[in-house]
Amino acid sequence: MPAPLVVMKFGGSSVAGAERIKRVARRIVRERARGSELVVVVSAMGDTTDELLALAAAITDEPDARELDVLLATGEHQSATLMSMALQSLGVPAISLTGPQAGITTDGRYGKARIAGIDPRRVRAELAAGKVVIVAGFQGMSVAALDGLEATEPASAVHTAEITTLGRGGSDTTAVALAAQLGADRCQIYTDVKGIYSADPRIVADARQLDVVGYEEMMELAHQGAQVMQVRAVELGWVNDVVIEVLSSFEDAPGTQIREDPLVEQRNKVRGIAHDRNVAKVTLVDVPDQPGVARSVFGPLAEQGINVDMIVQNVGHGGATDLSFTIPRVELAKAKRILEPLIRDLGFRDMTTDSAVAKVSIVGAGIHNAPGYAARMFGTLADAGINIEMISTSEIRITTIIAEDRVEEAVRSLHAAFQLEQPETVEAASALAG
Amino acid sequence: MPAPLVVMKFGGSSVAGAERIKRVARRIVRERARGSELVVVVSAMGDTTDELLALAAAITDEPDARELDVLLATGEHQSATLMSMALQSLGVPAISLTGPQAGITTDGRYGKARIAGIDPRRVRAELAAGKVVIVAGFQGMSVAALDGLEATEPASAVHTAEITTLGRGGSDTTAVALAAQLGADRCQIYTDVKGIYSADPRIVADARQLDVVGYEEMMELAHQGAQVMQVRAVELGWVNDVVIEVLSSFEDAPGTQIREDPLVEQRNKVRGIAHDRNVAKVTLVDVPDQPGVARSVFGPLAEQGINVDMIVQNVGHGGATDLSFTIPRVELAKAKRILEPLIRDLGFRDMTTDSAVAKVSIVGAGIHNAPGYAARMFGTLADAGINIEMISTSEIRITTIIAEDRVEEAVRSLHAAFQLEQPETVEAASALAG
């Protein structure tokens, strides 16, 4: 039987400083002692990425996306080399590879590239040589288009190669993509929490760790503010059927598996409460109730890369309507600059904004089968005297916008109302749903 | 007439932090306004290299040379991207290239690679596109030798590419090599001093800046402790006949030209006093006076990468001899570990070491024609009561080893004795020599 291949990914807080790197290295050595072949993906150390962004910001307000990608990618180069040194100092053969060296190619969109393919030859050659392969996460290679230089020309392939990064949390995507390409037996995402919880344990004291979460549930949880995993990495795992384990870098304890969950239909219950404070609400008042207005508003925002999340349009009154939507709070100033000139052009009466709001969601694959959940959610918030400003729903999620200063109370009330502190059993879940 | 091509190199202290980077960017913009095409080579910011070395040291006592090179190279990647951003924010099109992207290939010796060649196509393409090309100094690319992966295979060229660094001060070499390959009209090394001086101006108040220094003189000055330029870069300039200008990043003032000096023979005088504190002396006492002993001592040191500088063997007495030599002080502990086992094997009586010594040299292309210089040097030191422990000479240099606590006094005495505070004229020099 060939040795099992395990992809292990360690996030920034797991490799923040020499001591933590050495601790992680010891953990890797333990895994190797079980006879596994190992590919280890690392993020940049601790706050490195933020420090590099601050440096760029001290130089210019609008750093070039290509240059920023080369700058940020150095963070992962550093942690990968240090991890390799730590393993070598423990007597384990290891080698660090940059994203390009690991054969990871991207679609070339700086700052938010998607992985286009992986040429696994170098990784396989290093594994075959008996090494633990450390891959710098968050990055890959695209090819510069240059007049007079053919990208496919052998001698120039190296120096037309461009570094592109995958966006925040992109190391998760690196790990899952490598696991898929290499046909890894396991894909482990090590973090500073023990797994996926029924709610943020810093807010809900009796939040429970979940053993299994379905891909779709995890995507909604991640999208609604649970910061454990990058949404795209979960999506990639789903498409490629990679079982992802989320577990603690610092404790030897079982984590949470993200996988196709055969019990979803039987569970049929709320799995977790997610919340997100990086939200601002924009309301356009008395928007003319005409075709094309929505496009005139959301088109320019999309062009400037602002993700609009929830959109609510109230019933028209006298030929005009109020249009509300949410965006990441960090984008509010930019959105105002884009929208203000439109007020006159499109004939709004006014624009109001509110950055003291937050999202609270209940997520569970069974929600769409059970209308009672919406009522229970809204009733719980009403009982707590929390006003709901906006609502949106999906097949497996109900999201509300509330005042930010009520968010912890809302999360705790909902956690209790849906009895998420209780151990999950299929029987109990069925009983609850019935 | 085509635009002149200028290679400008900025060292670590010139790019230490956002403000200095912006200042250097304004200087580059001024040079560009003169109509030049520009290739700018940058070192890592300030203490970055030392900080990265400290990180590696916190992980392991013996960092792998390959991993260390990838780690250290990130320093130059960072400063190159930031310089490119700074230029762009001033409205100047710019692009940063890593060493491999700039087509710089090396002989693959990690930590001390030599440039094997430069494929200038990408740099030329970017210049042709109207950009200032920022090149990360100190690094180049070698190719990993891997079973089952052909380095010349197009698809794998990128991921068999390995980062190799050129050693301390390697960015000077990057700049001179690029200037030679591109046929640049000028090669400017910007530093935190205004040029090459007749002695360290921090020690000698009336040290004079030299207008022109010959390649050979500069190599001796650099080798004997003047830290302005890397020896190898000067050598490369000499071989390729690149005129190198050393000048201040912070002041608009004429610097020093390093070039073939037609006046050398006429000058025929001491040009500068160099000193170096990174010296330790080792003496092997009562070494058997037999063939092969020197090889048994210096072979193992060379294998471990320890550069032995001066070697003095005293006259034998009774079949044994004392063998003294100097090494970089930072290597002393390592050298002792290597040599101690040899004491018994080779039959020495003892080994003594002294790390409180320093080198002081007089350098000038005319020295070998005028034996009076040695007498004046030794007499000057004797008059100051400074004991000479070792002496070595070359065609254009006389070097002494003295006690470290006398080094400043020695430099000042010699500077005065050879009247180096006086303006240099060919006439004056001839008069002095005569």
Looking at chain B, the domain(s) classified CATH 3.30.2130.10 span: 280-354
Q: How far B393 CA sits from the closest chain A CA (Å)?
A: 42
User: For A52-87, what is each residue's pLDDT tens digit?
Assistant: 999 999 999 989 999 999 999 999 999 999 999 999
Count of CA atoms in the C-beta half-sphere (13 A) of B240: 23
Chain B residues in contact with A86 by the CB 8 A cut-off are: 59-60
pLDDT score at B230:
85
What's the fold here for domain B280-354? VC0802-like (3.30.2130)
Q: Which of the 8 DSSP states describes residue B251?
A: S
Looking at chain B, the domain(s) classified CATH 3.40.1160.10 span: 5-192
A125-129, A235-239, B407-411, B428-432, range with the lowest pLDDT:
B428-432
Chain B residues in contact with A65 by the CB 8 A cut-off are: none
- The answer to whether B250 and B342 are in contact (CB under 8 A) is no
In the sheet that B104-106 helps form, which strands lie side by side, from edge to edge?
A: B115-118, B104-106, B139-143, B161-165
Length of chain B (residues):
434
Which one of B61, B82, B146 has the shortest CB-CB distance to A125?
B146
pLDDT score at A144:
77
Which one of B58, B71, B156 has the shortest CB-CB distance to A78?
B71
**CATH homologous superfamily of A5-192:** Acetylglutamate kinase-like (3.40.1160.10)
Residue with tokens 């004491």: B343
User: For A288-339, what is each residue's pLDDT tens digit?
Assistant: 877 777 888 888 998 888 888 888 877 666 677 888 999 999 889 999 999 9
Q: Give chain B's mean pLDDT.
A: 88
pLDDT score at B170:
93
Count of CA atoms in the C-beta half-sphere (13 A) of B410: 29
Across-strand partners of A40?
A8, A134
Q: How confident is the model at residue B150 (pLDDT cuts 50, 70, 90)?
A: low
pLDDT score at A16:
96
Chain A residues in contact with B133 by the CB 8 A cut-off are: none
Instruction: Quote ipTM for the complex.
Output: 0.83
Higher pLDDT, B101 or A153: B101
Chain A residues in contact with B145 by the CB 8 A cut-off are: none
Q: Which of the 8 DSSP states describes residue B166?
A: -
Q: Give chain A's mean pLDDT.
A: 88
Residue B23's contacts (CB-CB under 8 Å, 6 or more residues apart) are B249, B250
Higher pLDDT, B133 or B316: B133
Task: Count CB atoms within 10 A of the CB of residue B254.
Answer: 13
- The answer to whether B122 and B138 are in contact (CB under 8 A) is no
Residue A9's contacts (CB-CB under 8 Å, 6 or more residues apart) are A40, A41, A42, A43, A137, A171, A172, A174, A175, A187, A188, A189, A190
**Closest residue in chain B to residue A67, using alpha carbons only:** B81
In the sheet that A350-354 helps form, which strands lie side by side, from edge to edge?
A: A311-313, A320-327, A280-288, A350-354
Contact call for A59 and B149, based on CB within 8 A: no
Question: Strands, DSSP E only, in B254-374?
Answer: 256-258, 272-276, 280-288, 311-313, 320-327, 350-354, 357-363
Q: How confident is the model at residue A426 (pLDDT cuts 50, 70, 90)?
A: low
pLDDT score at B431:
36
Assigned CATH class of A262-434:
alpha beta
Q: How far A426 CA sits from the closest chain B CA (Å)?
A: 47
Q: Which amino acid is at B211?
A: D
Q: What is the dihedral of CA A120, A123, A129, A135, to 10 degrees?
A: -170
Chain B residues in contact with A157 by the CB 8 A cut-off are: 154-155, 157-158
Q: How far A55 CA sits from the closest chain B CA (Å)?
A: 7
Q: Percent of chain A, pLDDT > 90? A: 64
User: For A101-122, what is each residue's pLDDT tens digit?
Assistant: 999 999 989 998 999 999 999 9
User: For B407-425, what is each residue's pLDDT tens digit?
Assistant: 999 999 999 999 999 887 6
Length of chain A (residues):
434
A142-151, B46-55, B176-185, B331-340, range with the lowest pLDDT:
A142-151
H or E stretch covering A363? strand A357-363
Res. B368: pLDDT tops 80: no
Contact call for B58 and A157, based on CB within 8 A: no
Higher pLDDT, A414 or A304: A414
- The answer to whether A404 and A356 are in contact (CB under 8 A) is yes
Res. B427: pLDDT tops 60: no
pLDDT score at B156:
53
Size of interface A-B (CB pairs under 8 A): 181
Res. B372: pLDDT tops 90: no
- The answer to whether B102 and B134 are in contact (CB under 8 A) is no
Q: Across chain B, how many H-helices and E-strands are there?
A: 14, 20
| C-alpha to C-alpha distance for B104 and A249, rounded to whole angstroms | 39
Mean local confidence (pLDDT), A183-199: 93
Tokens of A202: 């810093």
